[in-house]
């Protein structure tokens, strides 16, 4: 009976194990089927850097046809590239899932097709040379790590997948560009001393990932083309009334403008400054924002490198104001995810309340409460002794204004274009041609009328133009993100802003007052000794109590 009972128990136990195994297998099958239909991940990083942004999800959800992503990836990669490849594949899998059938991902090893190498070269996907170690010897191998985004006849390429930090932005912008029916144009006002696109090559290159760019001249009275989606007015030296009129009428027609205005011109050789009187101030004041003829200094600032004979000296430079998110806690898509922006030799802005009525004014960037200004005489020598006032002040450096604007030229005649001496030339034929052109422009002006009121539109005013020049954009990533976000916000809304702004700039400590610093210093000096004394007194009191009660400690 005992043997039979044991055998029955063995059979029951085996049956139970089998049933549990079948049950677990069934659960796994159900979970796999569920996970295939429902994509769930948990990203514990503060900025959700391993999760695609809501902006990308919205763009993928809005696709109306199939987008093919072909990844040209060599199978034989060095071992140290494996983590990067895994991150790329994880990201592309998210795109496929959130694309809901409109994203197809295909991996291709070009070494399987010898004729493909030449095709990839024409596409702009090169072979990469990577260092490897084989048999204790250093060697070089050539691999492919690029991808192409295809939509109908449109094609965009990412030549090298070597950095996943910016991959989501690059990939989403490519998807958006190939699937968009129209590519918008960003125009840069030129002909009045503004920096050309060669000095803005970093910004120009990134803009061309999503837009067309071109220079726009009004120096001879030309009208700003209506196909310009965003006009950038950066540091003009002198604008005529006709230039101001064309800018004003572009805004009145519903155009959107970024004003990057230097209140003070900096001569970097002498490190002196002079007030800029370009004429743009009266236009901006009419729109509700004044650029003050001053330069801001702040206790929170960036380090600057200066030459001193054969040496380079790096030192804190209060004229390079560092704006951090804590100083400007604004919930605006342009800046709400940028950690820091550097404003070199910036002028403060003031909102003219009487002229900004019925328009929404949003402050995008402010100094700390410990800033001050230099006015009248401008000395930018980095070795000077800076004397901040006892009580500082917070200054505004960038604002966005939305709404309907009234024309500065309403009720005024159209200004005639100015004819420069070089346009007249030194021959009778050139003078005759110039007079003929001027007569044609006059006739054209007679057929125009001043548009007195704009539809709802937007402008952005920034008290520094140098923040987008190559040397500052290359040093400070927040500057690049700020300008690109501003262009996107004006041109296409916030479709790409949330992706680009992720972890842009540094995360500096918040600036505190001298009194708070002193309190922290004294706390650090005396807190630990005081705590030790208190701990000793508590232990002494407990021992005396135990003795009084006759308790023997273990």
Q: In whole angstroms, what is the distance from residue 491 CA to residue 125 CA?
A: 30
The answer to whether position 17 is within a domain reads no
Q: How many CA atoms lie within 13 A of 269 on its CB side?
A: 0
The answer to whether position 102 is within a domain reads yes
Instruction: Tell me: do 533 and 407 sit in the same domain.
Output: no
Give pLDDT tens digits for 54-104. Answer: 888 888 988 989 999 999 998 888 888 888 999 999 999 999 999 989 999
pLDDT of residue 7: 67
Q: Which residue's structure tokens are 């505004």?
A: 396
- Give Cα 52 distance to the centre of its chain: 17
Q: Model pTM?
A: 0.75
Q: In whole angstroms, what is the distance from residue 402 CA to residue 380 CA?
A: 35
Q: Provide, rounded to the nearest whole percent, the portion of the chain with pLDDT above 90.
A: 45
Q: In a 3-state reduction of DSSP, which class is residue 215? A: strand
The answer to whether position 15 is within a domain reads no
Instruction: Tell me: do 424 and 400 sit in the same domain.
Output: no
- Largest separation between any pair of C-alpha atoms in the chain: 131
What mean pLDDT do residues 354-370 have? 89
The answer to whether position 1 is within a domain reads no
Instruction: Tell me: do 245 and 128 sit in the same domain.
Output: no
Number of domains present in the structure of the chain: 4
First to last CA, the chain: 57
The answer to whether position 37 is within a domain reads no
The answer to whether position 329 is within a domain reads yes
Give pLDDT tens digits for 201-213. Answer: 999 999 998 899 9
User: DSSP letter at 103?
Assistant: E
The answer to whether position 509 is within a domain reads no
Q: Which of 129, 121, 130 is nearest to 159 (CA)?
A: 121
In contact, 342 and 275? CB cutoff 8 Å: no
Instruction: Tell me: do 105 and 242 sit in the same domain.
Output: no
Instruction: Tell me: do 83 and 213 sit in the same domain.
Output: no
Instruction: Tell me: do 215 and 72 sit in the same domain.
Output: no
Instruction: Tell me: do 438 and 462 sit in the same domain.
Output: no
The answer to whether position 349 is within a domain reads yes
Instruction: Tell me: do 249 and 115 sit in the same domain.
Output: no
Give pLDDT tens digits for 285-303. Answer: 999 999 999 999 999 999 9
In this structure, the number of other CB atoms found within 10 A of the CB of residue 138 comes to: 8
């Amino acid at each position: 009976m005992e043997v039979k009972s044991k055998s029955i128990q063995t059979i029951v136990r085996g049956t139970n194990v089998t049933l549990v195994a079948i049950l677990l297998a069934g659960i796994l099958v159900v979970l796999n089927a569920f996970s295939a239909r429902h994509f769930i991940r948990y990203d514990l990083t503060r900025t959700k850097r391993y999760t695609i942004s809501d902006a990308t999800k919205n763009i993928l959800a809005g696709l109306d046809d199939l987008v093919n992503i072909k990844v040209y990836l060599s199978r034989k990669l060095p071992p140290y590239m494996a983590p990067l490849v895994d991150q790329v594949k994880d990201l592309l899998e998210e795109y496929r899932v959130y694309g809901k059938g409109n994203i197809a991902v295909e991996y291709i090893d070009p070494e399987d097709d010898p004729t493909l190498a030449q095709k990839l070269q024409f596409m702009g996907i090169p072979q990469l040379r990577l260092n490897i170690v084989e048999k204790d010897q250093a060697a070089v191998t050539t691999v492919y790590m690029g991808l192409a985004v295809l939509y109908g006849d449109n094609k965009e390429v990412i030549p090298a997948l070597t950095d996943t930090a910016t991959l989501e932005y690059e990939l989403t912008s490519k998807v958006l560009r190939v699937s968009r029916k129209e590519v918008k144009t960003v125009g840069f006002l030129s002909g009045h001393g503004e920096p050309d696109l060669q000095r803005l090559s970093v910004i120009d290159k990134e803009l061309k990932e999503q837009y067309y760019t071109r220079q726009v001249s009004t120096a001879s009275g030309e009208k700003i083309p209506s196909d310009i989606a965003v006009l950038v007015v950066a540091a003009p030296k002198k604008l005529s009334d006709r230039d101001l009129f064309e800018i004003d009428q572009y805004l009145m027609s519903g155009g959107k403008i970024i004003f990057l205005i230097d209140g003070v011109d900096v001569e970097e050789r002498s490190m002196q400054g002079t007030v800029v009187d370009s004429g743009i101030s009266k236009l901006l004041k009419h729109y509700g924002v004044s650029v003050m003829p001053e330069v801001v200094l702040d206790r929170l600032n960036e380090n600057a490198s200066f030459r001193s004979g054969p040496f380079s000296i790096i030192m804190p430079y209060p004229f390079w104001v560092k704006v951090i998110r804590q100083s400007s806690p604004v919930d605006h898509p342009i800046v709400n995810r940028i950690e820091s922006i550097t404003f070199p030799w910036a002028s403060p802005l003031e909102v003219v309340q009487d002229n900004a009525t019925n328009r929404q004014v949003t402050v995008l960037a402010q100094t700390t409460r410990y800033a001050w200004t230099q006015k009248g005489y401008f000395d930018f020598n980095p070795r000077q002794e800076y004397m901040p006032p006892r009580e500082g002040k917070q200054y505004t450096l960038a604002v966005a204004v939305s709404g309907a604007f009234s024309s500065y030229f309403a009720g005024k005649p159209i200004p005639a274009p100015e004819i420069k001496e070089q346009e007249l030339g030194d021959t009778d034929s050139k003078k005759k041609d110039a007079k003929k052109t001027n007569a044609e422009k006059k006739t054209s002006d007679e057929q125009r009328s001043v548009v007195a009121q704009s539809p709802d539109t937007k402008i952005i005013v920034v008290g520094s133009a140098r923040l987008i020049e190559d040397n500052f954009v290359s040093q400070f990533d927040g500057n690049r993100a700020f300008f690109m976000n501003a262009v996107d916000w004006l041109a296409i809304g916030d479709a790409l802003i949330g992706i680009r702004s992720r972890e842009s700039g540094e995360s500096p400590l918040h600036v505190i007052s001298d009194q708070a610093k002193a309190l922290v210093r004294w706390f650090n000096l005396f807190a630990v000794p005081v705590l030790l004394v208190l701990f000793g007194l508590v232990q002494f009191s407990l021992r005396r109590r135990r003795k009084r009660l006759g308790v023997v400690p273990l």
